[in-house]
Structure 1
Amino acid sequence: MTISYVLSGFAVGILVGLTGVGGGSLMTPLLTLMFGISPTVAVGTDLAFASVTKVAGTFAHRYRQNIHWTIVRRLCMGALPAAIVATLLLKYFGGLDQAIGQIIRYSIAGSVMLTVIAILFRTRMQRWIAAHPERQLHGTRLSAATIIAGVVLGTLVTISSIGAGAVGATLLVLLYPHLEPAEIAGTDIAYAVPLTAIAALGHWWIGSINWELLAMLLLGSIPGITLGSLAARAVPARLLRGLLAVTLTGVAYKLVF
């Protein structure tokens, strides 16, 4: 089983490196469906996994000056309190309870489908925003919308561990269409570090992190992400994202039915 966890981390790492889609939308359903791990433990362990891996990404993007810290602060203003509230609700209602686990399972499925929508329609959304500049938000309305987006992402990430990657990046594209792709990626990763850290601490408090599993996943994912990133330019991104969207749709169906 240990080898299987390492290989799973490696496979997810390669896909993340190739596609840029967050590991949560891949890792959490994999742990739940393939290994039969409790949804709450799968979410908690993946959040701890993400909080470690995203730190390295933040340092790299900070070095390249790809992070807009004002946007990061706005997102955190909404996301961090939402993560704390979601954690308290999980604790109050019994995060490890079987009924709550089933609700979390459905939350994971819903978050996976949001990721699929983000993968398939992000480019069309960008084109629509570019064609309708009058629809773009500015000033106080933009700040408020960013904070609200943070609340949504903070809740999603804490309950399902999914949302900080493709969904977060898509919201940033819609709210800040002038940003370059590297700036979207850097800002998305930077705000996710404190969010996943706080959510992971909450799940540690609940008792839903498997530390041995976490170590095995990290052991496989780090070389996987490196190899995937190096091979990304050699593989057609459109083909990969299409296959990923189909796979994730099947995963969401399996989680529900």
Structure 2
Amino acid sequence: MGEVVALLVVAFGVGIVIGLTGMGGGALMTPALIFLGVPPTAAVANDLVAASVNKTVGAAVHWRSGSPNLRLAAWLTAGSVPFAFAGAFIIDAYGASGDPQAFLKVAIGVALLLTAGLYTVRMYLNMSRRVRVDPRAADPVVRPVPTLLVGAVGGLLVGITSVGSGSLIMVCLLLLYPTLAARRLVGTDLVQAIPLVVAASVSHIIVSGIDWDVLLPLVLGGAPGTYLGARLSSVVPQSVTRRGIATVLTLTGLAMLQVPPVWVGIIGAGLVVLGPVVWGLVRRAALSRDGSRRGRAGAGSRRTP
């Protein structure tokens, strides 16, 4: 009973974070399950199945509003689904010659550090593009080959670790399609994430099955948590929350890689103390550039006869 309560509490807490920030739960839920004693293979499998339910709800909302770029989502899906489906079989093949649990811990640790870095990049790109993207502008032309490659790399990462669908792919989309409006960007990412996560979860069910004692608390605790987080998103400072998540992901990734606790603590203290200072300087520089750009644009329009 105690384990079920712990899973409900963790799922509820992760759901709040998802509702507040829109960040995918794999980067938070999978390591949380491992720290609760769930084997890494079971943690990945059950988290993927729960994510396939939660992402479907979010994608349905965006589908009804007409925000996704369906052609872009189709190219991403074509690249991601085969590689996501292969994830569980890659883990199973490794298990024939090594320890799949140890392999997954290392893979998840690396994925978390990558996610933390990409999440920081995503915050910077969102901040710097805020004044440049016209939401009424036409969608950019889809670039099939790089889009397929983004889907393939993201699908493989999700298929093995359950981490990456809301971080790696989103950042790559920001870089490939900087003029795509934020609403359509989020909608496209959510729509392509459904077949991606479903393919990964199906392969994990085939290879290792699911544990209903773990899965049900994830769904029952995560749904109300996500709803509450969404309600709180208008009153909780997003910048503070997101910087905190990047710090947590970094420290969790280091712990997964078995970095000595002393060094994890030192790095954590450095991120907490120096992180806000560095981010403030970066933000000030970005806003200064935007102000200069708008000033030049205004001067040019005044000189135009």
AA partner of residue 156 (structure 1): L
CA distance in 2, matches of 1:114, 1:170: 11
Aligned twin of 1:12: 14
AA partner of residue 108 (structure 2): I
Give unmatched runs, 5+ long, in structure 2: 133-139, 259-305
SS of alignment partner, residue 234 of structure 1? coil
TM-superposition CA deviations, 1:192-226 (whole Å, max 9, x none)? 11111111110011114222211111111100000
Give the Å deviation of 1:175.
1.2
CA distance in 2, matches of 1:226, 1:139: 35
| Alignment: residue pair count | 247
CA distance in 1, matches of 2:222, 2:87: 28
1:238 aligns with 2:271: no
Give the Å deviation of 1:98.
6.6
> How big is the alpha-carbon RMSD for the aligned residues of Structure 1 and Structure 2?
2.0
1:254 aligns with 2:255: yes
AA partner of residue 75 (structure 2): R
More moved, 170-179 vs 54-63: 170-179
CA distance in 2, matches of 1:55, 1:123: 24
CA distance in 1, matches of 2:98, 2:11: 26
Aligned twin of 1:25: 27
More moved, 68-77 vs 86-95: 86-95
Q: State whether residues 40 and 208 of structure 1, in contact with CA within 8 Å, keep that contact through their aligned partners in structure 2.
A: no
Q: State whether residues 121 and 171 of structure 2, in contact with CA within 8 Å, keep that contact through their aligned partners in structure 1.
A: no
**Larger Rg belongs to:** 2
Give the Å deviation of 1:86.
2.8
Q: State whether residues 21 and 238 of structure 2, in contact with CA within 8 Å, keep that contact through their aligned partners in structure 1.
A: yes
Aligned twin of 1:183: 184
TM-superposition CA deviations, 1:44-72 (whole Å, max 9, x none)? 11100111111111110001111111011
CA distance in 1, matches of 2:237, 2:105: 32
More moved, 45-54 vs 83-92: 83-92
CA distance in 2, matches of 1:88, 1:213: 22
1:82 aligns with 2:87: no
AA partner of residue 78 (structure 2): M
Aligned twin of 1:107: 107
Query: Where do 1:116-127 residues align within 5 Å?
Result: 116-125=116-125, 127=128
Give the Å deviation of 1:123.
4.2
CA distance in 2, matches of 1:23, 1:86: 18
Q: TM-score, normalised by structure 2?
A: 0.76
Q: State whether residues 23 and 167 of structure 2, in contact with CA within 8 Å, keep that contact through their aligned partners in structure 1.
A: yes
Seq. identity, %? 32
Residues 123 and 10 (structure 1), Cα distance of their counterparts in 2 relative to 1, 3 Å cut? closer
CA distance in 1, matches of 2:115, 2:223: 23
SS of alignment partner, residue 99 of structure 2? helix
AA partner of residue 121 (structure 1): V
Q: State whether residues 29 and 251 of structure 1, in contact with CA within 8 Å, keep that contact through their aligned partners in structure 2.
A: yes
CA distance in 2, matches of 1:99, 1:249: 24
CA distance in 2, matches of 1:157, 1:93: 17
CA distance in 2, matches of 1:29, 1:87: 17
Q: State whether residues 86 and 200 of structure 2, in contact with CA within 8 Å, keep that contact through their aligned partners in structure 1.
A: no
CA distance in 2, matches of 1:22, 1:32: 17
AA partner of residue 87 (structure 2): A
Aligned twin of 1:135: none
CA distance in 2, matches of 1:65, 1:201: 28
